[in-house]
Structure 1
Amino acid sequence: MRRAREVAMISMQKGRYTARTAGSPEDIRAAQKLRARCFGLPVSHDADAFDDRCTHILVEDKATKMLVCTFRMQELTGAELSASYAAQYYELSALESFEGRMVEMGRFCIDPDLRDPDILRVAWAAMTAYVDAHDVEMLFGCSSFAGTETREYLDAFAMLKARHLAPTRWLPRVKAPDVFRFAARLRRTPDLKKAMAHMPPLLRTYLMMGGWVSDHAVVDRQMNTLHVFTGVEISAIPAARKRLLRALA
């Protein structure tokens, strides 16, 4: 049985947005409703068994109280990785030897009708505050590309292969039945402009912090996404980037 952990409550204001820890079933239902919209699911709420295990963060418009972004976090040790969402799709035994606290970040969604970059900044400020409060040493999760067709993302995947594959000692292995083995299959020099244009914003941020990815993408037809396992070792984040994140937090 996993041991209970005290969770640091997040509450902050930046510009026109606030970020806080969900404090009620109504908060979580609001997050699930936004998730369903963002993923284009044919249901009113996106809910699963992991919601009860996670801490949920809400980013809201300060004036209207409208929920504009949400994500959830589950704190784990290497021995507990089998309880992660990602373990359904990736064989993670290589990471079991990682020493230090890990947090799985998932269901990251920004209202699809909004394009304000400050929303992402506030979300990362909340994540930074959580990481510092809990002495987290690795963030990981599944970074999603919209849809299940690979064609428009080939330059992005070629760039991931060329520059951002996981260290061999942490590399996740194939577990899901339907995957795109981009590291093995692609033989192209990436067009960096096209690659960055098609890179999901969350994954782009992970990479700027020194993040790395699996050598294959999972084809998730239920969620209508392609996703790659993504890890960020906190100790490897460039010092300038850490200072910027902590200034936001």
Structure 2
Amino acid sequence: MTVLLQKGRFRVRQSRADADIAKAQELRAIAFGCSDADAIDPLCTHVLVEDTNSGEVLSCFRMLQLDGKTVAQSYSAQFYELSALEAYEGVMVEMGRFCTHPDHANDPDLLRCAWGAMTAYVDAHNVGLLFGCSSYAGTDTDPYLDSFAMLKERHLGPRHWLPRIKAPKVFRFAKELSRTPDIKAALRKTPPLLRTYLMMGGWVSDHAVVDDRMNTLHVFTGVEIRAIPSARKRLLRAVAG
């Protein structure tokens, strides 16, 4: 167990211990509405944000360090054909299962601590690319068409890194949508985690996967650390420090 930072009543620590993985899985079950454990969990470093008064875990996520030779072992590789990233020469980290307790979902201090911990991990391991799956609730695309149109217009990833289609059910929004997005409506419908990635200069795949097991739509999302705006880097590192 390693304490990454402590801010006010929140303590953030990273762990690979079975007991802490179980705590993360318990919170994920509450946040996602279903039991959530997989074979990737034991391979990851788990980051837990705890209330120092009660000891309760209020937010968590997991980090899996990879490179071009091992990127096919990622969770995302179950859904996306990632051979393009085999040519990536730096350190990659897959960040997944980010969630907060529903009773604390809008606590800005809690979220700042989580992002500060992510920043500390990225800096400590010299990470060049952060990636993962950003999820929309449900599998119906209609409520999110403005959001997907915005992604097509503004946030598609560079062609040389883009994942190819692998999942049996996908929504090829970059090919199928021709609408001009209503940006205000798009931002309202874009998941908060994905909005944060996009503000950091993140990019997405050209298609969304329809994940019936998790009852979500998700897009592959990448954030190249060198592309994060300087002002946002300073804010993140201020929290991490």
Same topology, TM > 0.5: yes
2:85 aligns to what? Answer: 95
2:184 aligns to what? Answer: 193
State the distance in 1 between where 2:89 and 2:158 align. Answer: 15
Specify which of 229, 241, 245 is matched with residue 220 of structure 2: 229
Query: Deviations for 1:190-211, whole angstroms, at most 9, x for unmatched residues?
Result: 1111111111111111101100
1:30 aligns to what? Answer: 23
1:214 aligns with 2:209: no
User: How high is the TM-score relative to the length of structure 2?
Assistant: 0.96
Gaps of 5+ in 1: 1-7
> Cα RMSD (Å) of the superposition?
1.2
Q: CA deviation at 1:189?
A: 1.1
1:146 aligns with 2:137: yes
1:17 aligns with 2:10: yes
Specify which of 94, 112, 123 is matched with residue 102 of structure 2: 112
1:159 aligns with 2:139: no
CA 1:23 to 1:96, structure 2 compared with 1: closer, same or farther past 3 Å?
A: closer
Q: CA deviation at 1:109?
A: 0.8
Q: CA deviation at 1:10?
A: 4.2
CA 1:10 to 1:94, structure 2 compared with 1: closer, same or farther past 3 Å?
A: farther
1:85 aligns to what? Answer: 75
Give the counterpart letter for 1:117 in structure 2: P
1:53 aligns to what? Answer: 43
Q: Which consecutive aligned stretches of 4+ in structure 1 deviate over 6 angstroms post-superposition?
A: none
What's the % identity of the aligned pairs? Answer: 66
State the distance in 2 between where 1:9 and 1:90 align. Answer: 32
1:133 aligns to what? Answer: 124
State the distance in 2 between where 1:90 and 1:205 align. Answer: 22
Query: Deviations for 1:38-82, whole angstroms, at most 9, x for unmatched residues?
Result: 1111x4xx2110011000000112222211111001000011111
Give the counterpart letter for 1:90 in structure 2: Y
Specify which of 227, 237, 240 is matched with residue 246 of structure 1: 237
State the distance in 1 between where 2:121 and 2:221 align. Answer: 18
Gaps of 5+ in 2: none
Asked if 1 retains the 8 angstrom alpha-carbon contact of 2:116 and 2:236, the reply is yes
Q: CA deviation at 1:23?
A: 5.4
Q: CA deviation at 1:117?
A: 2.0
1:68 aligns with 2:58: yes
Q: CA deviation at 1:16?
A: 2.5
Asked if 2 retains the 8 angstrom alpha-carbon contact of 1:10 and 1:129, the reply is no
User: How high is the TM-score relative to the length of structure 1?
Assistant: 0.93
Asked if 1 retains the 8 angstrom alpha-carbon contact of 2:48 and 2:57, the reply is yes
Asked if 2 retains the 8 angstrom alpha-carbon contact of 1:39 and 1:224, the reply is no
State the distance in 2 between where 1:9 and 1:166 align. Answer: 34
State the distance in 1 between where 2:183 and 2:122 align. Answer: 31
3-state SS of paired residue (2:181): coil
State the distance in 2 between where 1:167 and 1:30 align. Answer: 37
